């Protein structure tokens, strides 16, 4: 369908007071505030698909076909409540849209039967999206009043899960692309750099570097060609902010990239995305195509004389490829290995030209900043960290998903008030912030306002905003052991301190979380010496590694030694895991009354630690037992137990 370009540009540019009645009507139709037939929207982003939304989609299609009901069925991104997927929202003409949780295929017929008879079904209701001119449903809470939404300030995620990510018309009818049009028509390159510097926006990938200052460095470097790269590698396990933004509102990201490219005087931008992000790739490819068709990408955009091409490049999905110099090498077709800085990419980056690398969330903030001004942005968050931050929350929590809060909001508000705490009646134990090379945060810091400056003061880092929540069943030492193992596998191997340091740290941690394999191997003294070594190793790795991977790798160790030292000591001196998670530290016994002497455990024990005579009770030689628990798994008489 051809788009009405003139109308869309007008809708994007003007506030609603500048529209005539026909344009207002069309705008309402495109924004779906006014609809003529029922609308069903299914969250088909990754979190939705994992929960079964493709089957839900088919069930809606069959429902409509079987009953000859005419309805519109569209995709959305996630509203942030990933644990409630598949989330489905339904709007019938004249009424507000209601959101439902966990609508698997079998629930579709009864849900739609009820709603089409103007009845709100029992259960599964999340809330309704109140909009002017639409009749609200009785006894359905407003989305905005739910604790999950009420304490957030969604400026970047405002439209995620609400709009159709495949519809440029819907984005533009809500004012989308107005900021880019204003940028190329009203500002010079350096004015945009100044405006973003004045907003105080800091890079959301973790370092918190001033976005405007970074742009200025690239803008001031003379070159016949400059590049803007959107870093959509999102390599931190547990982080899914960038993916959700790309899946929920790809046009906002592309508008942000266009503004950033213009500001640094570049006509060439790349989105470097991990290849596993198939649904984000699908949406971005569609968005690029739509923007080219309407003339918002390409040559001489809107007769401004400004040209811009944006291309998508798939990366292998390696942690180190998220580091900007490794990313640039990968984009150039080389092996994704970091190189030393300076020169910084802003001076010599992609193909040796000035290059700005910015994160997805950073870039997605730009349309709002241009539309509403730097003062508006500065009025949110803290003095030194203006704006909001999106956190992806997973682990042992009541709700998992994405939360966008003003910088300076406390962990307590994010985890206890918005997410509902550990859930299932469990006690919170700690938070791990910032991915595998992030820091463990103890509960006494729950009141800390989360901003770059407040975290730095406590020796913590925000990272890209992944938060892993741990309850009383989690062992911090074992968790850190896993992170070290992961980082060792992800190290590109260029620097010895990173490559060997992460391996040694993982080995030391493993020796603490299991029983001695042999008498020489890991005595208490050896294990204790290992822990002493951890601290000096951490110093060396921090000081001598080339890139952030090796420099930050010791963070989990350093922060847990600082805040959870007692757990290390219990593992070392008492050979006990306080949360009973380290199975290899358990002491295993055989109950003589239950043991039939069937010999199965003795045959399976990898350490030959079980001895006895057939048809008489067997027993475990503790000195030999490595605590693997295989005897427990294989015993059919429940004779094996542990303490
Ligand atoms: C090991 C490592 C991995 C990184 N991974 C990412 C990533 O996945 N996404 C990202 O935006 N930045 C990542 N960064 C940071 C980038 O190098 C770069 O600083 C960032 O893209 C700049 O964007 P910003 O200024 O908008 O924050 C990583 C850095 C390191 C050291
Ligand atoms: S610090 Fe690690 S990941 Fe970074 S360049 Fe050195 S070896 Fe590679
Ligand atoms: S836990 Fe059981 S199977 Fe494993 S080493 Fe000890 S006795 Fe053998």
β-partners of residue 620 are 610
pLDDT at 520 over 60: no
pLDDT in tens, 227-275: 999 999 998 888 999 999 999 999 999 999 999 999 999 999 999 999 9
Q: How many CB atoms lie within 10 A of CB 386?
A: 24
Q: Which of 451-455, 494-498, 576-580 has the lowest mean pLDDT?
A: 576-580
Encode 41-67: b = buried (16+ Cβ within 10 Å), e = exposed.
bbbbbbbbbebbbeebbebbeebbeee
Max CA separation in the chain (angstroms): 94
- H or E element, residue 310: strand 309-315
Give the separation between CA 620 and CA 605, rounded to whole angstroms: 10
pLDDT digits (tens, 9 = 90+) for 85-120: 999 999 999 999 999 999 999 999 999 999 999 999
Residue 516: pLDDT band by 50, 70, 90 thresholds? Answer: low
What is the rounded distance in angstroms from the CA atom of residue 252 to the CA atom of residue 246? 8
Q: In what side-by-side order are the strands of the sheet with 268-274? A: 309-315, 268-274, 227-232, 355-359
Q: Would you state the structure tokens that stand for residue 88, as one six-digit string? A: 């489905």
- Which candidate, 174, 145, 148, places its Cα nearest to that of 159? 174
> Tell me: the pLDDT tens digits for 464-508?
999 999 998 899 999 999 999 999 999 999 999 999 999 999 999
Return left, alpha or beta for 254; rule: phi > 0 is left, psi -120 to 50 is alpha, else beta. alpha
Band (pLDDT 50/70/90 cuts) for residue 14 is confident
What whole-number distance in Å separates Cα of residue 566 and Cα of residue 430? 14
Give the whole-angstrom CA distance, residue 80 versus residue 146.
13
pLDDT of 38 reads 96
Closest residue by Cα to atom 2, ligand 3, is 631
Distance CA 214, CA 353 (A): 15
Q: Is the CB of 553 under 6 A from ligand 2?
A: no
Structure tokens at 517: 């394999």
Nearest ligand for residue 620 CA: 3
Q: How far is the CA of 461 from the centre of ligand 2 (A)?
A: 19
Q: Say which residues have a Cβ less than 8 Å from residue 127's Cβ, sequence separation at least 6.
A: 98, 99, 140, 141, 142, 143, 145, 146, 149
| Protein residue closest via CA to atom 5 of ligand 3 | 625
Residue 365 in contact with ligand 1 by CB distance below 6 A: no
**pLDDT confidence of 2, banded at 50, 70, 90?**
low
Question: What count of other Cβ atoms lies within 10 Å of the Cβ of residue 274?
Answer: 21
User: Per the structure block, which two tokens stand in for 57?
Assistant: 């989609």
CA of 329 to the centre of ligand 1 (A): 14
CA of 446 from ligand 1 middle (Å) equals 26
| Percent of the chain with pLDDT strictly greater than 90 | 81
Ligand 2 site-directed mutation target among 489, 546, 555, most atoms within 8 Å of CB: 546
DSSP assignment of 32-100: TSS-SS-EEEEE-SHHHHHTTHHHHHHHHHHHHHHHT---EEEEE---S-GGGPSPEEEE-TTB-EEEE
CB count within 10 Å of CB 281 equals 20
Atom of ligand 3 lying closest to residue 610 CA: 7
Nearest bound ligand to the CA of residue 626 = 3
Do 107 and 94 contact (CB within 8 A), yes or no? Answer: no
Mean pLDDT of the chain: 93
pLDDT at 426: 86
With a 6 Å cutoff on the Cβ, whether 103 touches ligand 1 is no
* Contact call for residues 215 and 230 (beta carbons, < 8 A): no
Ligand closest to the CA atom of residue 632: 3
**In this model, does residue 1 exceed pLDDT 60?**
no
Q: Probe ligand 2: pick from 340, 545, 551, max atoms within 8 Å of CB?
A: 545
Segment 136-180, tens digit of pLDDT = 999 999 999 999 999 999 999 999 999 999 999 999 999 999 999
- Residue 284, classed as helix, strand or coil, is helix
CA of 510 to the centre of ligand 3 (A): 18
The predicted model gives 505-525 an average pLDDT of: 74
CA-closest residue to ligand 1 atom 18: 324
- Residue 525 is predicted with a pLDDT of 72
Instruction: Determine the pLDDT at residue 19.
Output: 87
DSSP state of 383: S
- DSSP 3-state assignment of 311? strand
Question: Measured between alpha carbons, how far is 563 from 560 in angstroms, rounded to an integer?
Answer: 5
Strands (E), 101-161: 125-129
Judged by DSSP in three states, 257 sits in helix
Q: Output DSSP code: residue 107.
A: G
Q: Which atom of ligand 2 is nearest to the CA of 492?
A: 8
Asked whether the beta carbons of 570 and 576 are under 8 A apart, the reply is: yes
Ligand 2 touching residue 495 (CB < 6 A):
yes
Cα angle 337, 343, 345; round to 5: 70
Give yes or no for residue 397 having a pLDDT over 70.
yes
Question: Does residue 487 have its Cβ closer than 6 Å to ligand 2?
Answer: no
pLDDT score of 643: 81
Query: What pLDDT shows up at residue 522?
Result: 56
- pLDDT tens digits, residue range 345-388? 999 999 999 999 999 999 999 999 999 999 999 999 999 999 99
Q: How far is the CA of 443 from the centre of ligand 1 (A)?
A: 28
> What one-character DSSP code corresponds to residue 437?
T
Nearest ligand 3 atom, CA 632: 2
Smallest-distance ligand from the CA of 323:
1
The answer on pLDDT for 13 being more than 70 is yes
pTM, two decimal places: 0.92
Structure tokens belonging to residue 549? 């991977």
Comparing 225 with 132, the larger pLDDT belongs to 225
Ligand 3 surroundings by CB, under 6 angstroms? 588, 605, 607, 609-610, 620, 625-631
Torsion of Cα atoms, 397 then 403 then 405 then 407, to 10°: 80
Q: Measure the CA–CA gap between 574 and 214, rounded to whole angstroms.
A: 51
The per-residue pLDDT for 511 is 86
End-to-end distance of the chain based on CA atoms, in angstroms?
69
The closest ligand to the CA of 639 turns out to be 3
Atom of ligand 1 nearest to the CA of 208: 27
Determine contact, residues 597/614, Cβ cutoff 8 Å.
yes
């Amino acid at each position: 369908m051809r788009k009405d370009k003139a109308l869309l540009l007008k809708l994007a540019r003007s506030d609603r007071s500048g529209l005539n009645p026909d344009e207002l009507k069309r705008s309402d139709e495109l924004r779906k505030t006014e609809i003529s037939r029922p609308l069903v929207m299914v969250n088909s982003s990754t979190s939705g698909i994992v929960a079964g939304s493709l089957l839900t989609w088919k069930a809606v299609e069959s429902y409509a076909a079987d009953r000859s009901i005419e309805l519109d069925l569209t995709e959305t991104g996630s509203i942030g409540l990933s644990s409630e997927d598949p989330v489905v929202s339904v709007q019938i003409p004249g009424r507000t849209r209601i959101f439902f949780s966990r609508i698997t295929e079998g629930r579709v017929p009864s849900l739609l039967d009820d709603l089409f008879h103007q009845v709100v079904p029992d259960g599964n209701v999340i809330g309704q999206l109140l909009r002017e001119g639409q009749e609200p449903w009785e006894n359905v809470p407003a989305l905005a009043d739910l604790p999950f939404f009420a304490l957030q300030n969604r400026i970047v995620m405002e439209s995620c899960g609400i709009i159709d990510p495949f519809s440029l018309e819907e984005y533009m009818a809500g004012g989308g692309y107005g900021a880019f049009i204003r940028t190329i028509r009203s500002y010079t390159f350096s004015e945009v750099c100044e405006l973003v510097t004045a907003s105080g926006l800091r890079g959301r990938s973790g370092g918190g570097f001033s976005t405007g200052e970074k742009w200025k460095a690239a803008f001031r470097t003379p070159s016949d060609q400059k590049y803007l790269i959107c870093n959509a590698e999102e390599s931190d396990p547990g982080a899914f902010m960038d993916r959700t933004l790309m899946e929920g509102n790809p046009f906002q990201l592309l508008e942000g990239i266009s503004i950033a490219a213009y500001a640094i005087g570049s006509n060439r931008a790349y989105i470097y995305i991990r290849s596993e992000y198939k649904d984000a790739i699908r949406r971005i490819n569609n968005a690029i195509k739509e923007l080219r068709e309407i003339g918002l990408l390409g040559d001489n955009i809107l007769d401004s004389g400004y040209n811009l091409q944006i291309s998508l490049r798939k990366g292998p999905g390696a942690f180190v490829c998220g580091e900007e110099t490794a990313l640039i090498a990968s984009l150039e077709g080389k092996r994704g290995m970091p190189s030393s800085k300076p020169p910084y990419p802003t001076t010599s980056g992609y193909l040796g030209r000035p290059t700005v690398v910015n994160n997805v969330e950073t870039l997605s903030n730009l349309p709002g900043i241009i539309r509403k001004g730097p003062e508006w942005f500065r009025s949110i968050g803290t003095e030194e960290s203006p704006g909001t931050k999106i956190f992806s929350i997973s682990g042992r929590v009541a709700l998992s998903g994405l939360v966008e809060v003003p910088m300076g909001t406390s962990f307590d508000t994010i985890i206890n008030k918005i997410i509902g705490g550990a859930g299932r009646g469990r006690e919170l134990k700690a938070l791990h912030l910032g991915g595998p090379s992030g820091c463990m945060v103890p509960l006494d810091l729950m009141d800390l306002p989360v901003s770059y400056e407040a975290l730095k003061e406590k020796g913590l880092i925000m990272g890209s905003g992944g938060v892993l929540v741990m309850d009383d069943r989690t062992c911090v030492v074992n968790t850190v052991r896993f992170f070290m193992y992961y980082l060792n596998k992800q190290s590109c191997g260029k620097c010895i301190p990173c490559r060997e340091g992460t391996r040694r740290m993982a080995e030391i941690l493993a020796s603490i979380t299991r029983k001695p394999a042999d008498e020489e191997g890991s005595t208490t003294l050896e294990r204790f010496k290992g822990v002493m070594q951890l601290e000096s190793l951490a110093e060396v790795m921090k000081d001598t590694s080339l890139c952030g991977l090796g420099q930050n790798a010791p963070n989990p160790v350093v922060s847990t030694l600082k805040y959870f030292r007692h757990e290390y000591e219990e593992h070392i001196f008492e050979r006990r895991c306080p949360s009973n998670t380290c199975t290899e530290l358990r002491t295993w016994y055989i109950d003589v009354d239950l043991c039939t002497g069937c010999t199965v455990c003795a045959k399976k024990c990898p350490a030959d630690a079980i001895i006895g005579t057939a048809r008489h009770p067997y027993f475990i030689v503790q000195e030999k037992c490595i605590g693997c628990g295989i005897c427990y798994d294989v015993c059919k008489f429940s004779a094996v137990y542990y303490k």
